[in-house]
């Protein structure tokens, strides 16, 4: 298990995609800090960026990596190794290398320019979001045997959570604006891992007042320690549940 984890992490860190991703994100992060006049403003920009880019890269990278290592997985399965530990090592390996890439590209600039509470929160959310979307990537790569379909499904998942979900919520808010649905809607929004992270960021950025009633609701529902714990629980569940399903699928898969 340990050997396998080291092996996979090494393999991924040599991967060109992850290196390119780290360099790109690194450039963006530095330029955001240099261009924005205050560090806090830069953190806001960075927060929004992390919410969009990290999920996309995580889900695409993990899906493609699993498909590309089909041969390697085949080799591993014929060895005296538990299937569960093979899958776990893959998951842990991708997570470790993703965290490493994030560390170099986002965490270092944050630690250098603005090692504040908000900065740490963004780092934490980046780690959580990457884990959630790696887990979703595992699920879609095990659900579809065909590579193109699997990657397509991953893209749809990302689109859904990053854009479509918000659109739907907005649609319902307008359609049922005569009814008091703000409260249930905030709860529904909290079911989306990206939205829940955004809510957490917003409540910490102290600009929810700009968002009127909904912002006040967010603050009321998620601003307390209790609310934050709920948010963290939701994120943990989002990491665990898709991964767990993919693990069960993988344990019974014919290779």
Partner 1 sequence: MNIEIQNITKRFNKVTALENVSTSFSSGQCIALLGPNGCGKTTMIKTILGMVIPSAGVIKVNGKNIHNDYIYRNDIGYMPQIGKYPANMTIKEVVETIRKLRKPEKDIDLELYFSFKLDEIENKKMNTLSGGTIQKVSACVAFMHNPSILILDEPTAGLDMIAMEVLKEKILKEQAKGKLILITSHQLNELEEILTHVCMMDEARILFFRSKEEIKISTQCDKLATAVYSLFKNIKS
32 binds partner 1 (CB under 8 A): no
Q: Name the one range near partner 1 by CB under 8 A: 26-34, 68-76, 149-157, 159-167.
A: 68-76
11 binds partner 1 (CB under 8 A): yes
Nearer to partner 1, 5 or 230 (CB): 5
Q: How many residues bind partner 1 (CB under 8 A)?
A: 23
Nearer to partner 1, 15 or 214 (CB): 15
Nearer to partner 1, 90 or 110 (CB): 90
> Measured from the CB of residue 78, what is the shortest distance to partner 1 in angstroms?
5
20 binds partner 1 (CB under 8 A): no
Residues whose CB falls within 8 Å of the CB of residue 182, separated by 6 or more in sequence, listed in order: 173, 213, 214, 217
Answer left, alpha or beta for residue 134, where phi above 0 means left and psi between -120 and 50 means alpha: alpha
With contact defined as beta carbons under 8 Å apart, do 119 and 50 qualify?
A: no
70 binds partner 1 (CB under 8 A): yes
Q: Compute the distance between CA of residue 83 and CA of residue 77 in angstroms, rounded to an integer.
A: 7
Nearer to partner 1, 14 or 149 (CB): 14
Q: Compute the distance between CA of residue 236 and CA of residue 212 in angstroms, rounded to an integer.
A: 29
Q: Read off the tokens for 250.
A: 């993988």
> Measured from the CB of residue 142, what is the shortest distance to partner 1 in angstroms?
15
Residues whose CB falls within 8 Å of the CB of residue 67, separated by 6 or more in sequence, listed in order: 141, 147, 150, 151
Residues whose CB falls within 8 Å of the CB of residue 127, separated by 6 or more in sequence, listed in order: 99, 102
CA dihedral 225, 121, 97, 104 (to 10 degrees): -160
71 binds partner 1 (CB under 8 A): yes
149 binds partner 1 (CB under 8 A): no
Nearer to partner 1, 75 or 168 (CB): 75
> Measured from the CB of residue 254, what is the shortest distance to partner 1 in angstroms?
4
Interface with partner 1 by CB under 8 A: which residues? Answer: 3-4, 7, 11, 14, 69-72, 74-83, 252-255
């Amino acid at each position: 298990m340990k050997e396998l984890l080291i092996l996979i992490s090494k393999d991924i860190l040599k991967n060109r995609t992850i290196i390119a991703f780290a360099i790109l994100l690194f450039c963006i992060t530095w330029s955001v800090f240099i261009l924005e006049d205050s560090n806090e403003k830069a953190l806001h920009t960075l927060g929004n960026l992390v919410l969009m880019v990290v999920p996309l890269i995580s889900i695409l990278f993990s899906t493609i990596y699993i498909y590309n290592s089909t041969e390697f997985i085949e080799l591993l399965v014929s060895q005296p190794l538990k299937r569960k530990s093979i899958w776990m090592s893959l998951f842990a390996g991708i997570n470790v290398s993703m965290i490493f890439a994030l560390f170099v590209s986002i965490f270092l600039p944050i630690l250098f320019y603005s090692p504040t509470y908000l900065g740490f929160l963004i780092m934490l959310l980046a780690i959580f979001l990457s884990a959630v979307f790696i887990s979703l990537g595992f699920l879609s790569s095990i659900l579809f045997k065909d590579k193109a379909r699997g990657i397509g499904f991953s893209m749809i998942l990302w689109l859904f959570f990053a854009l479509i979900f918000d659109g739907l919520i907005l649609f319902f808010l307008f359609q049922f604006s005569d009814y008091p649905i703000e409260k249930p809607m905030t709860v529904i929004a909290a079911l989306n891992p990206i939205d829940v992270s955004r809510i957490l960021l917003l409540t910490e950025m102290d600009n929810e007042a700009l968002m009127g009633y909904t912002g006040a609701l967010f603050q009321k529902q998620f601003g307390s320690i209790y609310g934050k714990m709920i948010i963290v629980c939701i994120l943990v569940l989002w990491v665990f549940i898709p991964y767990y399903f993919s693990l069960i699928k993988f344990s019974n898969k014919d290779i």
